Amino acid sequence: MAANGKKIWMDGRLVDFADAHVHVLNHTLHYGVGVFEGIRAYPTARGGAVFRLREHVERLITSAKFYHMPIPYSREEIEQAILETQAANALLPSYIRPLVYRGEPALGVKNLKGKVSLAIAAIPAKKYLGDGSEAGIRAKISPFRKPSSEALPSFAKATGNYANSYLAGADATLEGYEEAILLDCRGFVAEGTGENIFVVRRGTVYTPGLESDILLGITRDSVIRIATDLGFPVVQKLVSVNELLSADEAFFSGTYAEIAPIKEVGHYTIGTRAPGPITRKIMGVFFRVIKGEVPEYADWLTAVPQPARVASPAAARG
Ligand code: PMP
């Protein structure tokens, strides 16, 4: 992903992109103890809008609390700061990355005391899984499994969890695939490196649940709502590899990936190798929802105010 926004919000100040530094001995860098979000802003007929802002900020706060990193800003202040960052960077579509970290020099893994900071970047968003991703992508089952939530809780979006995604993603890339599908530690299908997964079999939409050590994706939640509203039964259950390989349709969902049909898993073809009818119906609604074209889901979008009209309470506190 290209990384060249103009300004980064750091603890209440908008600093130039090139000046957004932290100390090399910071705790988060060494031990992977930080939490973050990935959020998208889209152009709509009424201007820029952030998709499911509240849910992302709530997940950030939940993740931070679990990691003993209370964020020194309220939910409302974080939402304002995200809107302020988006407005200051004036780019659409954008990918917004809030990160909660301990940025001061502090070696020693048990450090609970270091100052907890919040940084928010907004950078240009592209298609994560490549330009062909709406036509279907090639994925492989990863040799790397998800860690059990008893070791690393999957509901928290922690930086350290992504060493696992990195290994799986690197293996898939080196093998010539666009994405990896990770199994949970019992061998059931869990998720992609940064996406949830859905399979469609005989008209029913299935997706793994929290017991498969997945991140409870906000796009996943949106897909479940849209599919249900379209009249398709949606079932959260353990999904076996065979159920995936013999599925009529399969697709990934995620903030960066949006909805990406899967056309191959290893050397197995999924359905007709083209996005299936149920996937296409769900995608059709989703891609209209994010443009603000479906009134029933209008509350999933938060308008980005013009820069002059944004005043962040957190910024005022400095
Ligand atoms: N699983 C993992 C491991 C992820 O990193 C992401 C991206 N945040 C998702 C699933 C999808 O979650 P969301 O739809 O909230 O972006």
167: domain CATH number is: 3.20.10.10
Give me the number of domains the chain comprises. Answer: 2
pLDDT for position 1: 42
Residues 140 and 263 in one domain: yes
Tokens of 111: 């450090």
pLDDT for position 129: 63
Q: What is the pTM of this model?
A: 0.95
CA atoms within 13 A on the CB side of 226: 26
pLDDT for position 97: 98
Give me the residues paired with residue 41 across strands.
50, 94
pLDDT for position 306: 77
The answer to whether residue 303 is domain-embedded is yes
Residues 18 and 108 in one domain: yes
- Candidate from 164, 196, 223, 252 with most ligand 1 atoms within 8 A of CB, to mutate: 196
pLDDT for position 315: 47
The answer to whether residue 290 is domain-embedded is no
Helices (H), 67-209: 75-89, 162-174
Candidate list 7, 140, 146, 157, residue with the active-site label:
157
Residues 217 and 308 in one domain: no
Which ligand 1 atom sits nearest the alpha carbon of residue 220? Answer: 14
Residues 303 and 269 in one domain: no
Helices (H), the chain: 27-31, 53-66, 75-89, 162-174, 218-229, 241-245, 277-289, 313-317
Residues 153 and 263 in one domain: yes
Residue 313 belongs to a domain with what CATH number?
3.30.470.10
- Candidate from 36, 97, 207, 255 with most ligand 1 atoms within 8 A of CB, to mutate: 255
Domain span holding position 183: 133-275
Q: Which residues, including other chains, have CB under 8 Å from residue 65's CB and lie 6 or more apart?
A: none
Residues of the chain whose pLDDT is less than 50?
A: 1-2, 309-311, 315-318
Q: Is 263 a catalytic residue?
A: no
Residues 145 and 269 in one domain: yes
Is the minimum distance from the CB of 169 to ligand 1 under 6 angstroms?
no
Q: Whose CA is nearest to atom 6 of ligand 1?
A: 194
pLDDT for position 2: 43
pLDDT for position 133: 64
pLDDT for position 127: 72
The answer to whether residue 95 is domain-embedded is yes
Is the minimum distance from the CB of 275 to ligand 1 under 6 angstroms?
no
Q: Whose CA is nearest to atom 9 of ligand 1?
A: 195
The answer to whether residue 289 is domain-embedded is no
Tokens of 12: 């209440």
The answer to whether residue 152 is domain-embedded is yes
